Amino acid sequence: MLRRLAGAAAAPLRRSLCTAAAASSPPLRPPWAMLYAKPALDASGAPSRASLDLHEDLWAQLSVPARLVVPDAGDAADFFAGAVRAATPDGLLLLDFSDTRCRAPVDRTFRPSWLAEFDAAAEYAGEPDVARFVCNPLSGQLLRLPAPGAEFARSSTAGCSTGFGLLTQSEGSRGPPDRYVVAQLSRSRRGGADHPVVRRFLSETGEWDERRLAGPSVPASRDMRIDPNLEVVAFGDRLWWLDPTWAVCSVDPFSDQPEHRLVELPPASVLPDLIDLAGTPVLGRYRRLGVSEGKLRYVEVSNSRKPFVCSSFSLDEKGCCWTLEHKVAFNPVLPERCKVLEDHIPCIAAIDPFRANFLYLIYGHFLIVVDMAKGKSLGGQHLPERAGDQTLCPSGFLVPCMLPTWLESSYIPCAGTLSSKKTNSKRNSLAETLVRADRGQKN
C-alpha cells in the first residue's frame, strides 16, 4: 500500500531483500526506504559486511556483524546500542555503536551558548566507547572511522557538542561520491578561550581535525537546543542541524574556513525561549527537516487532538526564507477493523524524497501517509513487530534512505583510493576494504 502510494517500481519485490546474500536476478528496488534508526547487531559470525532487510512497505532495517563492533563480541554485543545518525542523498549512512555500560550521567541543563547540551554525553569526540562507521547499505561495505583522539577530548567543552552528520561530494552532478566528511559542531578550549569549532573527519586525509567556526553571532539571550535524536540533514553542500524551538543552523564542513548560518523557523513556529526545557526533546516528534524534490523542507504536525494539522515549508534558493506550501487538517485513516486511537497523536516518520506533498506519520502502532496536496490521509498499515512498542514515538525513529541504482556497485571513498569513477586506475577492491575495516577494529 505505502510503496504503491510512493510511486515505487511497479514490479513486486520479494518479501525480504538481503544484500549479504547473492542473487542471480535481484528484484527491483524502490528508490528509497524508511530505515529503522536502530541497526541490529548480528552475532552469528556473518561475513564482514552489513545487510539490508528491505520490505514491500518501504520499511527497512540494517544488520551489522557484531564482531566488527565488538571484538570477540559474545554476550557483550547485547550492551551496545546502535543508531543511524545520518543519510546522504547518494545513499551512504553514518552509524554509531556505543557501550551503554559506559554512558556518562545524564545532564539536561542548557548553557547560554549557540550550541546545545544534551543527554547523550558520549556523543562528543574522544569518547572511547563509541564505534562509528560509514556504510553502503546495498553493497554492505563498512568503513570504520578512527577514534578522534585524546587531544580532542582534552580540548572539548564537555556536553557542548551536537550529533554527527555525513556529507558527500561528487565530481559530477550524478553518480557515486568522490569524498565525504563526518562532522559535528562543538566548542574547544584550544588556545585558551572557549570558541565554536567544526570537528571533522575527511575521507581524503583519513584523519580528524578541527576548524574554528566563523559567522554571525546568535543573540546572547537565545540558546540553541539541537535535538540529538534527529538526523543531521545533508543538503546543498552543507550540513543542517535543527533546533525545533526556533531555528536551523548550517555549515559547510569541507571548508577550511567554515561559517555557520542561522535560519529562523517560520514566525508562527518560533517558541518562547522560556519554555520548559524538559519538554524540548519531545518537539522532535512533531517537527522535522528533510529534503524533497530538490528543496530543504521543514514540516510540523500539531501536537493537539483531532483533526490534526500538518504544515510544510520549503527554504528559498537564497537560504533565508521559508515558504508555506501546504497546511491541511486531517483525520488518520487506519486499516479496516482497526480500533480508533483516541489518546494518540501522530508524529513525523519521514518526508517523501520524491513527492514533497507526501508525509509519513507514525500513529500508535501504524505507519500512515498523508497527501498534503489533497488534504487527506491515504491509509496505512501496521508497523513491523521488530519495531517494538513505539507508542511514545521517539524522534528520529525512522530515517529516509535513498537507494539509487548505482549504489550497490559503488565504493565508499577513502584515503589512498581514487575516485569511484576513475576505473582505469588501481584502487582497493571491496573485499580488501572490508578486510581492512575488520582488521582495524581488532588493533
Tell me whether residue 294 is in a domain: no
Q: Is 40 buried (19+), middle (13-18) or exposed (0-12) by CB count in 10 A?
A: middle
- Cα distances (angstroms) measured from residue 305 to each of 178, 228, 299, 338, 365: 47, 27, 18, 19, 17
pLDDT at 53 over 50: yes
If you search the block for the grid coordinates 551558548, which residue do you land on? 113
CA of 293: how far to CAs of 59, 114, 173, 351, in Å?
A: 21, 30, 15, 10
pLDDT of residue 275: 56
- What pLDDT does residue 419 have? 45
What is the reported pLDDT for 10? 26
Q: Is the pLDDT of residue 208 over 90?
A: yes
The pTM of this model reads: 0.81
pLDDT at position 112 is 30
pLDDT given at position 142: 94
Q: How many CB atoms lie within 10 A of CB 321?
A: 13
**Interatomic CA distance for residues 289 and 322, integer angstroms:** 12
Asked, for residue 286, whether it belongs to a domain, the answer is no
Residues 368-412 have pLDDT tens digits of 889 999 888 887 777 766 554 444 445 567 899 999 999 999 999
Please check whether residue 308 lies inside any domain of the structure: no
Evaluate whether residue 310 is within a structural domain: no
293 falls within a domain: no
Q: What is the pLDDT of residues 130-155, one digit of tens each?
A: 889 999 999 999 999 998 876 665 55
The answer to the question of residue 349 being in a domain is no
> For residues 165 and 183, is the Cβ–Cβ distance under 8 A?
yes
Give the closest residue to 286 by CA, choosing from 394, 381, 408, 372. Answer: 394
What's the confidence (pLDDT) of residue 269? 93
- Per-residue model confidence as pLDDT tens digits over 313-342: 999 988 889 999 999 988 887 766 666 666
pLDDT tens track for 254-283: 999 999 899 999 999 998 875 554 544 478
Domain containing 259 equals: 2-273+397-440
* CA–CA distance, 370 with 299 (Å, rounded to integer): 12
What is the chain's alpha carbon radius of gyration, rounded to the nearest angstrom?
A: 21
Q: Say if 108 falls within a structural domain.
A: yes
Transcribe 114-154 into DSSP letters: SS---S-GGGSTT-TTEEEEEE-TTT--EEEPPP--HHHHH
Task: Answer yes or no: is 202 within a domain.
Answer: yes
| Number of domains within the chain | 1
Peptide bond preceding 307 in cis form (omega within 30 of 0): yes
